[in-house]
Structure 1
């Protein structure tokens, strides 16, 4: 069961980010070092070939890694990221999951997978975030575990 802090964070991210709202993204799950964000696939994010544009996929990866980072009680911005495009994106919605791999004093590392609603894997990605400022009553310990592929569509 999610704690009140996780629910509050999820609501804050969904309501305060015009970027998420204007790109049909929604944070659907947050727990320490983990987040899940969904994005509707519509014609606005398709490339000339009819697949989800790589920039939209990277944007979702950046968003879900940021949500996972915020769940640890720290604010952050992305420092760098690498993305591996595995299959062309199509379907009804994208589902991004991020898991914290490491968290140090100033940086965090997040592994991201993006699937569609048919559980087809489109990308894997590693993002490095610059961490700053702890919020009160937040843990400073890293989870250090990787997500399971089934985590993307369960829940």
Structure 2
């Protein structure tokens, strides 16, 4: 799939999530699964996973899943419910699944789990989809 390969190339240049060590595990139309190891630099003053780090993991999965059809998509709203704390040294995974897609919008459910399969956060995201970009002229 050309669109998925192009998306992987774009992600390779996305410095912020890559600086956190977020890696793509799976990518398919309307679906993405990504992972990151929660390090000591990613905790809050309570010593548990910082909400911003967990949100970034989920947002990365949302961005990949929603852009997997080839249309540029940007988040309109993202809500997150933190259910359990993330612990240092834990591998966290975010799985984004498309639940509804129209020409202009998409709705996604993202689940963040730890390496034991325990749900850490549940996220819902709505994206705005633009028309596919025309290829650049030579």
What residue number does 1:128 align with?
126
* Length, aligned pairs only: 133
TM-score (norm. length: structure 2): 0.87
- Residues 74, 5 of structure 1: CA spacing in aligned structure 2 closer, same or farther, 3 A cutoff? closer
1:63 maps to which of 52, 60, 65? 60
The answer on 1:110 being equivalent to 2:126 is no
CA distance in 1, matches of 2:111, 2:79: 12
CA distance in 2, matches of 1:10, 1:134: 13
Unaligned runs of 5+ in 2: none
The answer on 1:100 being equivalent to 2:98 is yes
Displacement over 4 Å in runs of 4+: none
After TM superposition, list the pairs within 5 Å mapping 1:4-153 onto structure 2.
5-6=3-4, 8-9=5-6, 11-90=8-87, 91-134=89-132
Q: Look up the SS of the partner of 1:61 in the other structure.
A: helix
CA distance in 2, matches of 1:26, 1:10: 13
Q: Is the 8 A contact 1:10 1:28 kept in 2?
A: no
Q: State the Cα distance separating 1:36 from its structure 2 match.
A: 0.6
Unaligned runs of 5+ in 1: 137-155
TM-score (norm. length: structure 1): 0.78
